[in-house]
């Protein structure tokens, strides 16, 4: 057993863990968590995002590795632009929710409580898949160079990478859920401010992603 056999699995898990905590990933999941801040529900959003992200990377990545092809640069930029548009949409959606809840409380009186509107729990799954698709091209390019003689090792790396990503996002979502849940119970005004900042941050990152993707064309 050579050193690559020993180090590659650990490297894949660590790389996946770190990859999950990129700004666009955290912004997307936080928009969902802020609406349903109960810790277990929040962790569920993180798990679903991670499952979607891992599934997209494993499936698409394995196909690209097996066929020994790369996504055209134009397609990769288009996927990045799409992720930016998605983040912008999530931010605007959350901001509308914050303003709607505020208007409802003002209309109902000072004693009114905010009631989060139900939304499909599968949303974070699809968002994770979109993130996975946009991140597959650079990852596969790096793996093709590192595991040029072993497609099975590359596929195993992708799988462990996805596991690390999912675990990291579940833990992040749980921590974010605890913050939002505590704020909602102890300082409702602060909770609303945190949600508004999350909305603005998601929209801003989305615009930045779109500008970068368009500028790279």
Does residue 116 sit within a domain? no
* Residue 112 pLDDT: 47
Mean pLDDT estimate for the chain: 86
Does residue 91 sit within a domain? yes
Does residue 65 sit within a domain? yes
Does residue 115 sit within a domain? no
Q: What whole-number distance in Å separates Cα of residue 191 and Cα of residue 36?
A: 12
Domain tally for the chain? Answer: 1
Lowest mean pLDDT among 26-35, 141-150, 181-190, 196-205: 141-150
Does residue 67 sit within a domain? yes
Does residue 110 sit within a domain? no
* Residue 120 pLDDT: 47
Residue 11 reports pLDDT greater than 70: yes
Tokens at residue 213, please? 């993707």
Residues 6+ apart with CB under 8 A from 186: none
Q: How would residue 51 be classed by pLDDT, with cut points 50, 70 and 90?
A: very high
Query: Which residue range is the domain that position 48 belongs to?
Result: 3-104+122-215
Token look-up 């799409």 returns 82
Q: What is the mean pLDDT of residues 166-195?
A: 92
Q: How would residue 200 be classed by pLDDT, with cut points 50, 70 and 90?
A: very high
Residue 151 reports pLDDT greater than 90: no
For 42, counting Cβ atoms within 10 Å of its Cβ (0-12 exposed, 13-18 middle, 19+ buried), the class is buried
pLDDT tens digits, 52-88: 999 999 999 999 888 888 888 889 899 999 999 999 9
Token look-up 């020994």 returns 68
The DSSP result for 143-166, as a single string, is HHHHSTT-HHHHHHHHHHHHHHHH
């Amino acid at each position: 057993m050579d050193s690559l056999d020993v180090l590659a699995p650990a490297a894949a898990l660590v790389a996946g863990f770190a990859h999950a905590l990129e700004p666009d990933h955290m912004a997307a999941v936080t928009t969902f968590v802020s609406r349903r801040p109960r810790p277990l529900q929040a962790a569920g959003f993180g798990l679903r995002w991670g499952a979607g992200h891992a599934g997209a990377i494993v499936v698409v990545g394995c196909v690209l590795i097996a066929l020994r092809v790369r996504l055209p640069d134009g397609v990769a930029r288009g996927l990045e632009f799409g992720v930016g548009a998605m983040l912008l949409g999530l931010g605007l959606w959350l901001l509308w929710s914050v303003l709607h809840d505020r208007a409802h409380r003002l209309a109902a009186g000072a004693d009114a409580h905010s009631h989060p509107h139900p939304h499909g729990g599968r949303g974070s799954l699809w968002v994770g898949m979109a993130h996975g698709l946009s991140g597959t091209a650079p990852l596969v390019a790096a793996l093709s160079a590192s595991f040029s003689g072993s497609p099975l090792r590359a596929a195993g790396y992708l799988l462990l990478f996805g596991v690390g990503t999912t675990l990291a996002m579940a833990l992040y979502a749980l921590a974010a859920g605890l913050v939002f849940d505590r704020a909602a119970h102890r300082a409702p005004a602060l909770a609303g401010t945190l949600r508004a900042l999350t909305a603005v941050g998601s929209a801003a990152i989305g615009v930045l992603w779109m500008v970068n993707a368009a500028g790279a064309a």
